[in-house]
């Protein structure tokens, strides 16, 4: 029975939420969502407070651990949270910070010149969304402690003893009644901490996993800052020059840090940060870098007669071909905008960063003429490839039109022509593709079987990619084209679902090959959230003619343990998609109401680029070392 709505609307209907109640009722407003993304955001909020201490010059070591009970502990050697009584709240400053929204020391610039956390909601939100939180503060020769449950203090802040230490330690356990998952991903957190160590040179970040079967500890530290980051990312690539171009300037209160290097490749990888926040949507600092880089390279080329008047002009994209770059800025009052609030919008900053980078690059090019000439040659080569590719494409388009060929492989299309409601399954093998065609909903699900393992596009030139029948069948089916000609407005399916066997060969290797292709040639499909991985079951358990599916060894063990009182009449372990009949494939893997899908996204473009090169590139030794180091963790997941 639906809830009855009262037609009257008066003062009695106005609800006032106090303290941290709004956070627990509407957590998505504060952390984005209550799934994995929001869960990990809790860790970032607490760690960012320690990073702000480091940026301010009061902290050089941060320790983070995932504990055995899946709680998180963070410790730093900063100044320690203030412990005195706050005059407005009549509570300790510690309790005020942890229980009052929009409280903290980052609204003026007396305690922090710049900060990643500007709204004063970080610590209090983490407290509100934790079933238990403990804070320990070492300050003024004493150790203070206070505990909370679901954001409410269990007792006042108290002194437990004397100490020579200084800093803050927080341990929190996310509330499983709020989050859909409370299992932390070590690799995801590791990438962020590694990133922070490069963005804040000199700081030491120690990250430990204490969970049974997943024990490991790693330390991240860089004395070279983002220059070291570029060297780390490009260590398995052939570079045009071993030297990383670095600019570090302070102008009008703005800190500008830039590092870039070119590799023997036509991909462009640029990450931008503002106050340590990854500005995925870019902004004025990224646009300023791009425009000043193009202007300086073009100016140098013309000054040295490296581009003749009769030559076709180079464009900004040509200059960025093969570049790996990081632009990191720090400013007192960042203005974040965009769909996910990760786009820097300080318009007054744009002319400053453009002029600063242009001037510094012109000085560098004058002092390093041979290096500058390499960059110009790289840009003109990119221009020639771009023009040749455009010409070849026009010829191919004419031939295709005259022959009436669509080259969509074995696509079985859906009847709907509305992209927002359509999805396409890339299916491993003709056999599984045949089953998927019989299982699908004809209205909105298209099926494109892929024969065997697709081409490894890493380090392959564009001509080989264009010659791949399997890959081009994907491109033509989606309708978007690839590379610099990619046009997301022409996408025919808003869900592109990768469906492979759940073994290491299928879900591991084949999906990785597909993902690498999308990342290198059709990246907006990933960044706009259109790529998904289907998660077929690993086991089918039958109890009294009813099927129950589990999707991992861990789930299967738990299922058997939970059903010891019932007789499981049959257990089937699927070796591949082809072992499922049409009904089973539909209800487990294709039915939107019951299936499991994993959406693919890019949290860190620099790390994504590094791992693509590591796992799919030509250099064997680093890949073998990575697999040997991490194999046990994959086996335990």
Query: What sections of 418-541 are H helices per DSSP?
Result: 430-439, 462-466, 469-478, 511-521, 523-527
CB 340 within 8 A of CB 601: no
Please report which helix (H) or strand (E) contains residue 300, including its range. Answer: helix 284-303
Q: Comparing C-alpha atoms, which of 558, 597, 279 is closest to residue 445?
A: 597
Furthest CA-CA distance within the chain: 85
Q: Which of 195, 428, 470, 605 is catalytic?
A: 428
Please report which helix (H) or strand (E) contains residue 303, including its range. Answer: helix 284-303
Q: Comparing C-alpha atoms, which of 258, 202, 255 is closest to residue 226?
A: 258
Q: Which of 147, 317, 413, 505 is catalytic?
A: 505
Neighbours of 224 (CB within 10 A): 16
Order of strands across the sheet that contains 495-499: 445-450, 423-428, 495-499, 531-534, 597-599
Residues 6+ apart with CB under 8 A from 145: 134, 135, 136, 137, 157, 158, 160
Tokens standing for residue 438:
């019989």
The full DSSP string for 137-169 is EEETTEEEEEEEETTEESS--EEEEE-S--EEE
For residue 636, what is the DSSP state?
A: T
Is 430 part of the annotated catalytic residue set? no
Q: How far is CA 542 from CA 101, 203, 535, 575, in A?
A: 51, 55, 20, 17
The full DSSP string for 97-120 is HHHSTT-SS-SSSSS-SS-S--SS
Is 603 part of the annotated catalytic residue set? no
Q: Which of 248, 359, 503, 604 is catalytic?
A: 503
467: left (phi over 0), alpha (psi -120 to 50) or beta: alpha
Please report which helix (H) or strand (E) contains residue 543, including its range. Answer: strand 539-543
Neighbours of 403 (CB within 10 A): 9
The full DSSP string for 5-73 is PPS---GGG-----TTHHHHHSTHHHHS-SSHHHHHHHHHHHHHHHHHHHHTTS--EEEEEE-TTS-EE
580 CB burial (10 A radius; 0-12, 13-18, 19+): buried
Is 501 part of the annotated catalytic residue set? yes
80: left (phi over 0), alpha (psi -120 to 50) or beta: left
Is 354 part of the annotated catalytic residue set? no
Query: What sections of 337-425 are H helices per DSSP?
Result: 350-367, 369-403
Catalytic residues: 428, 501, 503, 505
């Amino acid at each position: 029975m639906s809830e009855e709505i009262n037609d009257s609307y008066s003062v009695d209907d106005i609800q006032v939420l106090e303290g941290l109640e709004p956070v627990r009722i509407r957590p998505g407003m504060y952390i984005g969502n209550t799934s994995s993304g929001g869960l990990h955001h809790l860790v970032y909020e607490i760690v960012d407070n320690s990073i702000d201490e480091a940026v301010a010059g009061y902290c050089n070591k941060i320790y983070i651990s995932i504990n055995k009970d899946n709680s998180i502990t963070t410790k730093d050697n900063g100044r320690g949270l203030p412990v005195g009584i706050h005059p407005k709240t009549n509570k300790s400053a510690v309790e005020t910070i942890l229980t009052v929204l929009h409280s903290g020391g980052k609204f003026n610039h007396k305690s922090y010149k710049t900060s990643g956390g500007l709204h004063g909601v970080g610590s209090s939100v983490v407290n509100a969304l934790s079933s238990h939180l403990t804070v320990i503060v070492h300050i003024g020769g004493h150790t203070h402690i206070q505990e909370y449950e679901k954001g409410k203090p269990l007792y006042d802040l108290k002194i437990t003893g004397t100490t020579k230490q200084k800093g803050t330690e927080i341990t929190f356990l996310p509330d499983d009644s709020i989050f859909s998952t409370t299992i932390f991903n070590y690799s995801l957190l590791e990438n962020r901490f590694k990133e922070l160590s490069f963005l804040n040179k000199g700081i030491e970040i120690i990250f430990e996993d204490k969970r049974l079967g997943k024990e490991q500890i790693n330390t991240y530290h860089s004395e070279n800052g983002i220059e070291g980051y570029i060297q780390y990312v490009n260590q398995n690539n052939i570079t045009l020059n071993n030297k990383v171009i670095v600019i570090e300037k302070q102008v009008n209160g703005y800190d500008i840090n830039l590092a870039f290097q070119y590799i023997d490749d036509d991909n462009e990888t640029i990450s931008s940060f503002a106050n340590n926040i990854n500005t995925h949507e870019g902004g004025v600092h990224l646009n300023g870098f791009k425009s000043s880089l193009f202007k300086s390279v073009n100016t140098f080329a013309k000054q040295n007669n490296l581009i003749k008047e009769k030559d076709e002009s180079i464009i900004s994209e040509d200059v960025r071909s093969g570049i790996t770059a990081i632009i990191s800025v720090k400013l007192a009052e960042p203005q974040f905008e965009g769909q996910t609030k990760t786009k820097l919008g300080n318009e007054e900053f744009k002319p400053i960063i453009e002029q600063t980078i242009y001037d510094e690059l012109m000085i560098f090019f004058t002092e390093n003429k041979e290096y500058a000439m390499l960059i110009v040659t790289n840009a003109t080569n990119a221009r020639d490839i771009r023009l040749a590719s455009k010409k070849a494409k026009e010829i191919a388009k004419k031939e295709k039109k005259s022959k009436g060929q669509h080259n969509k492989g074995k696509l079985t299309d859906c009847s709907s022509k509305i992209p927002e409601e359509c999805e396409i399954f890339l299916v491993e093998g003709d056999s599984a593709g045949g089953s998927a065609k019989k299982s699908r909903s004809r209205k909105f699900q298209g099926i494109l079987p892929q024969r065997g393992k697709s081409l490894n596009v890493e380090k392959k030139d564009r001509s080989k990619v264009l010659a791949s029948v399997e890959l081009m069948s994907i491109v033509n089916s989606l309708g978007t084209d690839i590379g610099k000609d990619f046009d997301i407005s022409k996408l025919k399916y808003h869900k592109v679902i990768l469906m492979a066997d759940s073994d290491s060969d299928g879900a591991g290797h084949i999906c990785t090959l597909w993902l690498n292709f999308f990342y290198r040639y059709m990246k907006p499909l990933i960044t706009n959230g259109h790529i998904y991985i289907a998660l077929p079951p690993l086991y089918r358990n039958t109890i009294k003619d009813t099927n129950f599916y589990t999707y991992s060894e861990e789930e299967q063990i738990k299922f058997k343990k939970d059903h010891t009182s019932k007789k499981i009449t049959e257990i089937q372990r699927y070796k591949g998609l082809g072992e499922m009949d049409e009904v089973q494939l539909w209800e487990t893997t294709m039915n939107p109401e019951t299936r499991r899908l994993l959406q693919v996204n890019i949290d860190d473009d620099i790390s994504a680029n590094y791992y693509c090169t590591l796992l799919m590139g030509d250099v064997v030794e680093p890949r073998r070392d990575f697999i040997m180091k991490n194999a046990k963790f994959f086996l335990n997941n």
